[in-house]
Amino acid sequence: MEPYQRRSNHFEALFANPKLIWMGQNTNHLPSHPDVKRAMIAAIEDEVYHSYAPPAGLAELRRLILDDFEVSDADALITDGAIEGLYHACRHFIRPGDRMITTDPTWTWPGAFAKLSGAEVVALPIYEADQNYKLTADQLAAAVADGGARLIYIVDPLNPLGICYTAEEIEAFAAIARSAEAYLIHDCTYRHFAYGHTLAYRYYPERTITTYSLSKWLGAAGLRIGALMARPSLLQTLSNGQPNSLGSNVVSQLGAIAGLKAKDEWFPEVLRISRHNQGLIHAAVQQIDELTMPIFPSHGNFVAIDCSRAGISPEALCDGFLRRDIQIRHAGYHTDRYADRFIKVSTTVPTQHTQQFCDVLPAVVTEALASQPATEKHY
């Protein structure tokens, strides 16, 4: 069996488990606003899906996304999930021999996309307490100093750690990108969960591409709807060879419009639950000597739990939780360098699910301490 088949079969089995508690993909599993469901049901009943959507996306959705960013001098290009926009940008702006600068750990797929275009990917190590688990301006400046940097990829808030960069840090990164004449991708997938967030676009609008996700805050992961925000001239470039040139899922777009209109009413409770769940996990971790939480509170809808103090295998922890129908992520999904250091746990789930995680955590740790590294591959 090929690796792609094993990976797909792994998730097929998870998807088929009605008892599974999803705490590993940072997706929102809290109930949707009724207006979102009504909008999509009405679209299906009216059979609007017979027609292609506009190639850039429905104008109302694009406007609402710009309003959510509080930006008026850019445009949005609707994509089949934020990941499709990242794929297109990484393939479009990178040429053979270019360099992409990112961090380690990070969300690794854009680096894989850049490599497909023949780029060298430089991942700067940041899982260090003495730098607050953040990329520093000095690190980034040194990485671009010898030339060749075509693309800088910043995830902020950072999946998988939950750090968020300050306005001063973002301004410094933007200045470095401008000095290198590099494109800057500011992956803001988790910005809605941050305690404060600054757009790099405000400091470097001419070459900044900002991602927008509806998978996380709205809980629309399976609907595959996202966007890129940039100046119209950049989006014009990206529209050449656009993967979804016939438009994104129109039912998903109408659901997203309803979600954005209801966001101010609905999302604060989602945020409250997520932060409350973080607190429950933090309290549970503090009771276990072998575990620590390097970042608390997290600026994302997830937390990282370091298990390296006692040499516990992150995959063994994943295996133990999965036997109890709880899916979490291990560090190896995000990094080779720090693969033995931590697990990641999502918090946009019903609080009773978080409590189940906390209740079984001591037993899972005890089992992992006594076990060999997990033999089952977790993705």
pLDDT by residue (tens digit) across 203-252? 999 999 999 999 999 999 999 999 999 999 999 999 888 899 899 999 99
Given a cut of 90, is residue 371 above it in pLDDT?
no
**pLDDT confidence of residue 205:** 98
Q: What DSSP designation does 125 have?
A: E
Given a cut of 70, is residue 115 above it in pLDDT?
yes
**pLDDT confidence of residue 310:** 87
Instruction: Write phi, then psi, for 358 (nearest 5 degrees).
Output: -65, -40
User: For residue 162, what are the contacts with CB-CB under 8 A and spacing of at least 6?
Assistant: 295, 297, 298, 299, 300, 302, 303, 304
Give the other-Cβ count within 10 Å of 359's Cβ.
11
Residue 119: pLDDT band by 50, 70, 90 thresholds? very high
Do strands 75-79 and 226-230 pair parallel, antiparallel, or not at all (unpaired)?
A: antiparallel
**pLDDT confidence of residue 378:** 63
Over residues 93-106, mean pLDDT: 96
Residue 376: pLDDT band by 50, 70, 90 thresholds? low
Residue 373: pLDDT band by 50, 70, 90 thresholds? low
Amino acid at 292: T
Given a cut of 60, is residue 374 above it in pLDDT?
no
- DSSP, collapsed to helix, strand or coil, labels residue 305 as strand
User: For residue 375, what are the contacts with CB-CB under 8 A and spacing of at least 6?
Assistant: none
Residue in this structure with the two tokens 């033999």, named with its chain if needed: 375
Helix ranges (H only) for the chain are 3-15, 34-45, 59-69, 82-93, 109-116, 137-144, 167-179, 232-239, 250-286, 314-322, 351-370
Q: Percent of the chain beyond pLDDT 70?
A: 98
Token pair recorded at residue 230: 């940039």
Token pair recorded at residue 45: 């009943």
CB 55 within 8 A of CB 239: yes
User: Could you say which architecture CATH assigns to the domain 3-32+264-370?
Assistant: Alpha-Beta Complex (3.90)
pLDDT by residue (tens digit) across 37-88? 999 999 999 999 999 999 999 999 999 999 999 999 999 999 999 999 999 9
| CATH class (in words) of the domain with range 34-261 | alpha beta
**pLDDT confidence of residue 182:** 97
Query: What is the DSSP secondary-structure string of 221-274?
Result: GGG--EEEEE-HHHHHHHHTT-TTTT-S-HHHHHHHHHHHHHHHHHHHHHHHHH
- Pairwise CA distance, residues 256 & 58, whole Å: 10
pLDDT by residue (tens digit) across 17-33? 999 999 999 999 999 99
Give the long-range contacts of residues 266-270, CB within 8 A, separation 24 or more.
Answer: 266/33, 267/192, 267/217, 270/28, 270/30, 270/217, 270/348
Q: Percent of the chain beyond pLDDT 90?
A: 92
- Pairwise CA distance, residues 327 & 319, whole Å: 9
Bridge partners of residue 290, in order along the sequence: none
Given a cut of 80, is residue 156 above it in pLDDT?
yes
Residue 201: which region, alpha, beta or left (left: phi > 0; alpha: psi -120 to 50)? alpha
**pLDDT confidence of residue 241:** 84
Q: What pTM, to 2 d.p., does this model score?
A: 0.96
Neighbouring C-alpha atoms within 13 Å toward the C-beta of 263 = 18
User: For residue 235, what are the contacts with CB-CB under 8 A and spacing of at least 6?
Assistant: 56, 75, 77, 228
Structural domain boundaries of the chain? 3-32+264-370, 34-261
Given a cut of 70, is residue 141 above it in pLDDT?
yes
Q: Tell me the average pLDDT of the chain.
A: 95
- Pairwise CA distance, residues 207 & 184, whole Å: 6
Over residues 340-354, mean pLDDT: 98
**pLDDT confidence of residue 379:** 62
The burial of 334, by beta-carbon neighbours within 10 Å (0-12 exposed, 13-18 middle, 19 or more buried), is given as buried
Nearest to 51 by CA among 254, 256, 247, 257: 247
**pLDDT confidence of residue 6:** 92
Over residues 309-336, mean pLDDT: 96
CB 296 within 8 A of CB 132: no
Over residues 108-128, mean pLDDT: 96
Bridge partners of residue 80, in order along the sequence: none
CB 96 within 8 A of CB 120: no
**pLDDT confidence of residue 372:** 60
